[in-house]
Structure 1
Amino acid sequence: MRVISDGMIRGVPKSDCVDFRLPGAGVMVAYRDGYANRNGESLGMPAVSERSSATVMTELLVPAGQPIAFHYIGDQCYNMFSFVPKAGADYQLDAVGFYRCGVTLKQVAGATVRYSSVPLKESKLCRVTDNF
């Protein structure tokens, strides 16, 4: 999975809700310095045709057939969402807030980099008390 963002994306594997205490949870990509992150990792996915210089990018393995929850925090944005990746599929997650507050997920098909949209499920905190 390729992750591109102008903020911070945290992932919570094997969960459809957000709980940063779960095993494997952590920062996937972070635009600002000072966070433990995995910016710039590559799995050799087909190249991105274009992206803003105000974003960071990384490529990470995520477990197939199990939900993964995400938490995106940007300058004006705060989103939580999840989906279940298919085995053998490549995905690109774009989370940007500079010109719009939005998150899109696309499945990458082939070396010619054709994309098809993938629906995201709204997610919540696993424990309501984590919001306090």
Structure 2
Amino acid sequence: MVKIHIEYLNDLHCKVTHGPSGQSFLTDAPLDNQGKAEYISPTDLLAASIGSCIATIMGIKAHDMGVDLEGLKIDVTKEMVHDPHRRVGKLTLEIQYPRRYDSKTQEILNNVVKICPVTRSLDPKVIFEPIFSFADEK
């Protein structure tokens, strides 16, 4: 169990402190929801959380298989909807592998997006779209 401490500071800013490490950061509401976007927003953290979770789980799987994954890049695009309440409607993940792998390794790594704990915690209404590419394709 991990404890995260959140303190509301004012002006839609919160200070978030990670219990085990003591590391802190600030959040702000986004521009389209009365904020100033001076810091990352809570829904942006969700998007970052998914991307970093997938990269971490892929890293674990790659390590277990003896595969070099250094240089993996993930860009997450978050789209908000109002239906009727404001929520994350779609997350598009552009996952760029640093190199090509054999088909079995590629399939195993691609399937990690389905087992990432953050992905599995999403409401089924959130559209989740992973797009895979390789560094030599850009």
TM-score (norm 1): 0.29
Greater relative CO, 1 or 2 (CA 8 Å, sep 6+): 1
Q: Indicate the structure (1 or 2) with the bigger Cα radius of gyration.
A: 2
TM-score (norm 2): 0.29
Higher relative strand content: 1
